[in-house]
Structure 1
Amino acid sequence: MRSFRALLLAGATAAALTIGGIAPATAASLPAAVTPTPTPTPSASTAAPQTTPTPTPTPAVTPKPTATTPAPATPSAPQPAATATPSPTPKPTATPTPKPTTPPAPVFRQPLAAKSYTVSSHFGPRCIPVQGGSTYHYGVDMAARAGQPIYAIAAGVVTATVTGTSSRAGYIAVRHTISGAQYTSIYMHIWSATTHVKVGQTVSAGQRISQVGSSGVSSGNHLHLELWKATSTGSAAQNAATFLKPRGVDLYAAAAAVNAKPTPATCTYYTVGGVNFRTGPSTSYSIIRMLPRATAVVHVPGTITTGFIPVRVGSQQGWVSAGLVTPTKLTPAPAAVPPPAPAPKPATYATTAALNLRATASMSARIQLVIPKGANVGPIAASSGDWRKVTYAGKTGWVHSAYLVKR
């Protein structure tokens, strides 16, 4: 380890060089004319030289060293090796985030083979088509033959399979992801929902999932196609026809015919029985009056609240249950026929004396028995002249009317 004195001497030498106008770095390039300082043994613990004469600068101009012949360096006190300053670690170059590529648009397919169906009902408000039907149509109806194949309109996952009955519409629901949003397509009025798919199964666009039926409230074999878009509060019905058209599937152009009629401003229905005409859309509202069977009511299509529709009867406004009207004109119920008056009971007779009950209406006829005086012989069954046919004690015969009296 260097002593404190050695450190002072080294400092003085460096100061002398600097004061003389030659920096330590320049001193290393002086010519040999400068008196050399004894070279110390290069060691970290070697003491400083005994005598260090102050170098006298040579008046001559110091020649500049050439690039090929470097000037000899004047030995000097060992300087601590310069520690190379580490180059700063270069910041890693940020990998550019690739721009998200738009995924290819999903493939869409016809739910029924082209030209194999007719469009029988549009999406939106409509007149109730049959008793129990809806006045706002959440799908597009495509009438087709029973058993015709039904295909998924897009790839997705089956979320529901409900088999239909005569009173419940069967359906299959398929969930899709389209342009980042979730949709559900529903295929209704099928009979058996599990002939081709099951819940949780992934299906491709155009894959057969069922067949056309007429379950539930239905006027005939058809596919009722619905499309719902998930929202933050639930779901919203979409018009499947207008949704699919810009995606290459035109339900109307592919139909053999479009038989659906435009929705009129008002619809006329007829009550199917005695129907309560109420002040509001529930049974808790008061009854204005009872509407008899076949009463005509006028309704604005598409308006319905809790199963009740607002209607006009003549000049009166009120509400009736949507399930108790039909678009089919009915005949009024026949007037009640009073029951016929009961037939009067036939008069009964009694004998006024002991009386022979004969086999025929003749004095010469055989006597079957003698009826005592005051006996009840019941009503007269027949007459022949003065003779009356009666029954007594299980025997039927003839007696003379002169001995009978009405009771």
Structure 2
Amino acid sequence: MRTRSAVWSLVLAGGLAIATLPAPAVAGGPAPSPAPAQAVVVAPAATSVPANVSTSRTPKGRLVLLPLVNKTYALTSGWGPRCIPTRGATTFHYGLDMGAADGAPVYAVTGGVVTDVRQPSGGAPGTIVVRSLVDGVPTWLGYLHPWNPGKYVKVGDKVKAGQRIADVGASGPATGPHLHLEVWTGGYYTGTSHDPRAWLEGYGLPVTAQATADRVAPTPSSCTYYSTTRLNLRAGASTSTTVLATLDANTRLWNKPGTKINGFIPVSVRMDASTVLRGWVHTDYISQSKAYHLATSTVVRSSAVSTSKALYTAPAGARVAPGRVSGWWTNVSVNGVTGWVPTSAIAGGVS
């Protein structure tokens, strides 16, 4: 049986990465599937449940509600396999991302006991986990990415449905403020993960209808990445396995999303017209786009001639975004400055 410390040592991102342990089971909806729920209502301000938050009842009468105020959030990323969006994130997303204003209130979906409160640390997001008994089924709900998850609750607290338990934040791997909501049965990260959208809507909660936008992309069948530095392609998901090849920066890789072990994912690489190698690379050194840096300290100039005005001296290693080319010069953006540098000063990857 996994210890709590072992489970939490795996927390790496919104959706939480799986390291050496086997991946949890996954399921698409509530467990067990609920009977038709009562009609959705908007809680009146006079109750303890916040106004303008959609609520419902489970078949056995348990109060459940959306974690954010109606029409204040957009659905930005769904549950399931995905292409890794940022360093430290996962390739299977165990939650539903609801983009909202930084600091917006997060409410408990249903009542329960707080089992974990984790401050952001080591690249991991702030996390609150609440254990509930939903129509006889032990259920864990995870609320991820608050800046200060201990602001309103602590481990052992009993919370009520609709109680404010957190503020929306962007701690850990995140591209903007949002609530990442997870639903588990059988144990948090030791049991079965459920699609939060299907779980909420299965109990009559209009998570999609009350969103300002639904930007959840379809599940990708494959992902394309580029190495951000010279990178070892290995025979297995460990640094102790054989190196099959050492790839140059900005080498194109592709894979089928969903599997990540010890920070490694399986990829395919075309070495030449007739050779494709298959192996494993560490996700700390890949990106969905090519990356470039300055090989030496370089003067950024106002135009593509060496006598033009010097705008900025960029340090060696500074990451650049190359644009159009004119002769021996390339237009770049570096540290907020846009100008021209010798093309010879630009190297692939990040230093």
TM-score interval for Structure 1 and Structure 2 normalised by the shorter chain: 0.5 to 0.7
Distance 1:295 1:275 in 2: 9
Classify 1:224/1:285 alpha carbon distance in 2 versus 1 (closer, same or farther; 3 Å).
same
State the shift of 1:140 in Å: 0.4
2:159 alignment partner, one of 170, 179, 203: 203
How is 1:381-400 mapped onto 2 (pairs within 5 angstroms)? none
TM-score, normalised via structure 2 length: 0.63
1:222 paired with 2:178, answer yes
Q: Bigger relative contact order, structure 1 or 2, given CA contacts below 8 A and separation 6+?
A: 2
Classify 1:306/1:232 alpha carbon distance in 2 versus 1 (closer, same or farther; 3 Å).
closer
Give the secondary-structure state (helix, strand or coil) at the position aligned to 1:225.
strand
User: Which residue does the alignment assign to 1:281?
Assistant: 237
Tell me if structure 2 keeps the 8 A contact 1:162–1:171.
yes
Q: Deviations over 1:323-378 (max 9, x none)?
A: 2211122248869xxxxxxxxxxxxxxxxxxxxxxxxxxxxxxxxxxxxxxxxxxx
Q: Deviations over 1:94-139 (max 9, x none)?
A: xxxxxxxx98331111111111011110100001111221100000
User: Which residue does the alignment assign to 2:13?
Assistant: none
Letter aligned with residue 321 of structure 1:
H
Distance 2:135 2:252 in 1: 48
Give the secondary-structure state (helix, strand or coil) at the position aligned to 1:243.
helix
1:318 alignment partner, one of 279, 294, 313: 279
Tell me if structure 1 keeps the 8 A contact 2:250–2:290.
yes
Classify 1:166/1:309 alpha carbon distance in 2 versus 1 (closer, same or farther; 3 Å).
closer
State the shift of 1:304 in Å: 2.1
User: Which residue does the alignment assign to 1:381?
Assistant: none
How is 1:333-352 mapped onto 2 (pairs within 5 angstroms)? none
Letter aligned with residue 94 of structure 2:
Y
State the shift of 1:298 in Å: 0.4
What 5-or-longer segments of structure 1 have no aligned partner?
1-101, 336-407
Distance 1:120 1:126 in 2: 12
User: Which residue does the alignment assign to 1:158?
Assistant: 114
Distance 1:137 1:181 in 2: 23
1:134 paired with 2:95, answer no
1:120 alignment partner, one of 73, 76, 79: 76
State the shift of 1:238 in Å: 1.1
Letter aligned with residue 114 of structure 1:
N
More strand by percentage = 2
Distance 2:100 2:188 in 1: 36
TM-score, normalised via structure 1 length: 0.55
How is 1:357-396 mapped onto 2 (pairs within 5 angstroms)? none
2:141 alignment partner, one of 160, 172, 185: 185
Classify 1:163/1:304 alpha carbon distance in 2 versus 1 (closer, same or farther; 3 Å).
closer
Tell me if structure 1 keeps the 8 A contact 2:63–2:161.
yes
Give the secondary-structure state (helix, strand or coil) at the position aligned to 2:96.
strand
Classify 1:264/1:241 alpha carbon distance in 2 versus 1 (closer, same or farther; 3 Å).
same
Distance 1:190 1:266 in 2: 31
Distance 1:290 1:103 in 2: 57
State the shift of 1:225 in Å: 0.4
Q: Deviations over 1:138-159 (max 9, x none)?
A: 0000111100000000011111
Give the length in aligned residue pairs: 234
